Amino acid sequence: MPESELNHESPERTLVSGDLAAFSRISGVDLANVLRIARDRALVLGNAGLAPGWHDAGFALSDLSAGLAVIDLSGTGLADLAARGTTADLMGPGPSRTISFAGIPVVVEPKDDAVGLHVERGHLAYIWTWFAAVLREPSA
């Protein structure tokens, strides 16, 4: 695992819980562009523009920018790799973007021709090793 990666500047991400409609109204963030991870919880990509903590409109925010690393997966082998990591459909994981991948919880961000996996930073070395092990195997 390259040493520099562990201290790389992270993209802004905010955890929001509570009344998500109120959050969207006040912050101006479109809920269609957030990653829903529970009925009343979402991961906002980018700065929400609001202070962390409780907001009287009924929601709470916490910064999670440095807590997650994001790995982008793309290519013709993506489906094969995904089949070994998860039972979920990576491109269409369903209402919740939290899935189990390679045995750890990740947040899935479908992109145009790729998938972003938001992984707890403490697990980055593990999942990198997992990828290396899977990529050494013949295709299924």
**Binding interface with another protein (CB under 8 A):** 3, 6-10, 15, 17-19, 40-41, 53-54, 58, 60, 62-68, 83-84, 86-87, 102-104, 120-126, 129-130, 133-134, 137, 140
Q: Please say which residue, 40 or 72, places its beta carbon nearer to another protein.
A: 40
What one-character-per-residue DSSP string does 83-121 give? HHH-SS-TTS--S--EEEETTEEEEEEE-SSEEEEEEEG
Q: Please say which residue, 114 or 126, places its beta carbon nearer to another protein.
A: 126
Q: Give least dist CB 109 to another protein, A.
A: 17
Neighbours of 62 (CB within 10 A): 12
CA distance 61 to 53: 5
Between the CA of residue 68 and those of 22, 71, 79, 109, 122, what are the distances in Å? 25, 10, 23, 13, 8
Q: Give least dist CB 102 to another protein, A.
A: 8
Q: Give least dist CB 130 to another protein, A.
A: 6
Which tokens in the block code for residue 105? 């919880």
Q: Please say which residue, 20 or 29, places its beta carbon nearer to another protein.
A: 20
Q: Please say which residue, 58 or 112, places its beta carbon nearer to another protein.
A: 58
